[in-house]
A and B are shown apart, each in its own frame.
Chain A
Amino acid sequence: MPRTTSPSASKSRKARRRGPLATISLLAVGLLFTGGAYAAFSTSTASAEVPAVVSAASVEEGEKLFAANCASCHGLALEGTENAPSLIGVGAAAVDFQVGTGRMPMQAHGPQAPDKPVQFTDEQILSMAQYVASIAPGPAIPDESLLDGEGDVANGAELFRINCAMCHNVAGAGGALTEGKWAPSLSGVEPAHIYEAMVTGPQNMPVFNDANLTPEDKRDVISALKFMEENPSPGGNQLGSLGPVAEGLFLWIFGLGTIVAITVWITARSN
């Protein structure tokens, strides 16, 4: 390289390298790089979508939808069949949760109905919810004021650790249950669906009624979950929040892998 450039050019390059701006620009490049890497690693998921308010929903519309999409398993009068439970008294909250997260209509029989892309519009879901609620009273879709995520985060986090973490994991990353069932991850779940899950106890989940956890407590739990979601770990990428197994696997593959690659490089003989 130095042979092809003239002496004056190399001198000016040297001068540039030593110039007062060189340190600053080098620092800027370094900061930009580390900052960019950090931003790439810390995934921020901030989507507080407010369910659209539906006005034209009606019980009749819901009845038609129910008959067409649900009745084959749950029965035309919600009485249930041997394939599916009765829906009398499950309330609007259960419908909004099950249909709103895509768990219903169920695609196949299995240990558990997984969440999947939602099959109906918000309007249709609300219609079905109103129809089911009109047959027999049950838990209602929660009020917006309970879902704002502005509750007492410390109380919510403690309640979550005591009541929820044994299945959903302290960081809400989900966990295994028996016989192929599982507690799903709670990241990215709508506040309304979290609330509805607590009051209706879908699938394997127990019911947390208002005597057990007051509506205010539920608001706190939702606030704590949202806080966790909106404030990613200050320590960097969380490796799925799965705990020491993920950390150990990472260390063995990437940590020790890197180190071994470097040992090979250090002891490599030049040809």
Chain B
Amino acid sequence: MNTVTAPAEPRPAVPAKKSGGFTAAASNYIDERTSISTAVKELGRKIFPDHWSFLLGEVALYSFVIILLSGTFLTFFFDASMAEVHYDGSYVPLKGVEMSAAMASTLDISFDIRGGLLMRQVHHWAALLFVASIGLHMLRIFFTGAFRKPRELNWVIGFVLFILAMAEGFTGYSLPDDLLSGNGLRIIDGMVKGIPLIGTWTSFLLFGGEFPGTAIVGRLYSLHILLLPAIILVLIALHLLFVVVHKHTQYPGPGRTEQNVVGFPILPVYAAKAGGFFFIVFGVVMLIASLFTINPVWNYGPYDPSPVSAGTQPDWYIGFADGVLRLAPPHLDVVLFDHTFSFGILIPLTLVGVFIMLVLFYPFIEAWITGDKREHHILDRPRNAATRTAIGAAGVTFYAVLWAAASSDIIATHFKLTMEGVIHTLQVLLFLGPVIAYFIAKRTCLALQKKDRSIALHGYESGRIVRLPGGEYIEVHEPVDDFERWKLVSHESYQPLMIRPDSRGRITVAQRARAVLSRWFFEDRIDPITRAEIESSNHH
């Protein structure tokens, strides 16, 4: 901790010949040459609070390591070429079929290379887990308000990582050049071509000519194994650096303040737990990969632009983008000045773009509305930030409807519904669902706050009914202990901002908008209990 004493550190280790043995000698040798003890001391005493939801980001990190390891194995055998070959491997139903070298090598990995299929499945399942754990991690950050100052930039980095993970996933999904991946690329091609003026040119640039061309697999491969992983690695490093710099957030509790962090030091407890957890995550992925098929390219067969299989969908994390296209109403193409404007593509793209931007910049939007410039290291319980939780619920609903739309055909067949019925319902839900979710979440939060308040003031219901001498029945309420009560009363309450004229005595439009938004955020609130209230409640 104290940097002044650090240089003197190695000295006592030298005479201690008898106590340490090889370990001490070796660590001393390394330390004398690298001065690593300062870093170990500093990092080793870093405190991490213990809560299950704080491990979700770690799951993402570990999945990424698994992806790197299994992906490296796959690069040994994958041939990212669209040269035409006749498959001559051991899978009978494709014998002699003409396909690209990429597809043939994927089949070889699956059927003829020892451990290849397992590695393919590990890679793919870990990729799904990677994006899913990032998603869950982000939801935790959002609903606990962990993105507030000083962590706004880390939210942005994390969200960019989420987008990059999706890009990694999509480029990887397209590499085997099977029917499913070709169909996915065709949709991307269609979306690109739907952009006015530059669309067609961009598509030709991307595919090196008319779709599908003979270049796209090689190009996606370069992105998939070189550029995107490199950017992701750098951003992960930055992301973790910020975690160290900012220190970890913690849930409210007795003894936890904005100035301290209560938890375990990295060494030895946390490092042991986290290291063990890596192997557990690896084990779970291994188990899933060895028991469950993922992306059976041998069923899909080589890409051919004519067939499109029923049930063609992207991997789950691209589902929202597929869903928004499925929900777009038909007949929206408009011809203006000799150019076709495909609003059936442009409207969904804009909708998704706006949604992504809102999520990306949410920390700044909320900070502007609340006007809160203080640092926050204590997390909000979601119920205590009712409006934010409600906004989050609305966003999750919006995303979930898009996601569900990507499986509209599966919903129709498996729940015996009509395809049109499913689509129309989801179209309505896309706009109505978030509103309903918003109000339900907000009212639920406020109700929970009220419940907390009554528990803190009057204790919890003990279930014991007592008959008073006068004949009246009452239920005995037991007071909560001080530790529990701390959690219930230690949050802050915000008041809506008042409109104030600026230095020139004017009230700007931005000010007015801010006041309206602030009122929307904080008008409905339940103030936390004051000390006086607690004391007065203790008397009766």
Contacts and interface: CB of A to CB of B under 8 A. Distances in A.
A37 B287 CA distance: 12
B143 interface: no
A254 B294 CA distance: 14
A2 interface: no
B281 to A, nearest CB: 6
Interface string B46-72: 000011111110010000000000000
Interface string A149-186: 00001101110011001111111011111111011000
Interface stretch (A189-197, A208-216, A232-240): A232-240
Interface string B225-251: 000000000000000000000000000
Interface stretch (A9-17, A71-79, A257-265): A257-265
B125 A251 contact: yes
Contacts, number: 200
Nearest to B184: A244
Interface residues of A, number: 62
A206 interface: no
A262 to B, nearest CB: 6
Contacts of B408: 176
A271 interface: no
A241 interface: yes
Contact of A256 (B110, B129, B311): B129
A256 B55 CA distance: 12
Interface string B280-306: 110011001011111110011100101
A245 interface: yes
A37 B291 contact: yes
B288 A267 contact: no
Which of A156, A239, A247, A248 gathers most chain B CB within 10 Å? A248
A85 B15 CA distance: 102
Contacts of A179: 418-420
Interface in A34-68: 37-38, 41
A154 B121 contact: no
Contacts of B312: 243
B319 A267 contact: no
Given A247-B315, A259-B59, A165 B310 contact: yes
Nearest to A162: B307
A228 interface: yes
B313 A245 contact: yes
B419 A153 contact: no
A169 B284 contact: no
Contacts of A227: 92-93
Nearest to B319: A248
Nearest to A34: B290
A224 interface: yes
Interface stretch (B94-102, B253-261, B347-355, B486-494): B94-102
A33 interface: no
Contact of A255 (B51, B54, B129, B319): B129
Contacts of A228: 93, 299
A157 B93 contact: yes
A255 B125 contact: yes
A259 B319 contact: no
A79 to B, nearest CB: 31
A263 B59 contact: yes
A167 B92 contact: no
Nearest to A111: B418
A268 B197 CA distance: 58
A165 B309 contact: yes
Contact of A233 (B273, B293, B407): B293
Given A154-B93, A177-B419, A179-B420, A247 B310 contact: no
Contacts of B299: 170-171, 228, 233, 241
A114 to B, nearest CB: 9
A242 interface: yes
Contacts of A237: 291-293
A247 B128 contact: yes
A264 B125 contact: no
A36 to B, nearest CB: 12
B418 A153 contact: no
Nearest to A185: B413
Contacts of B291: 37-38, 41, 236-237
Which of A41, A255, A256 gathers most chain B CB within 10 Å? A255
A32 B247 CA distance: 48
A108 interface: no
Contacts of A38: 291
Interface of B: 50-56, 59, 92-97, 110-111, 117, 121, 125, 128-129, 132-133, 136, 179-180, 273, 276-277, 280-281, 284-285, 288, 290-296, 299-301, 304, 306-317, 319, 406-410, 412-413, 416-421
Interface of A: 37-38, 41, 111, 153-154, 156-158, 161-162, 165-171, 173-180, 182-183, 224, 227-228, 233-239, 241-252, 254-256, 258-260, 262-264, 266-267, 269
| 5 A-B pairs closest in CB distance | A175-B310, A248-B316, A235-B293, A180-B418, A176-B409
25 contacts: A157-B301, A161-B179, A162-B307, A167-B310, A170-B299, A170-B301, A174-B413, A175-B309, A175-B409, A176-B410, A180-B412, A182-B413, A183-B310, A233-B299, A236-B293, A238-B293, A244-B314, A251-B132, A251-B288, A251-B316, A255-B288, A263-B52, A263-B59, A266-B273, A266-B277
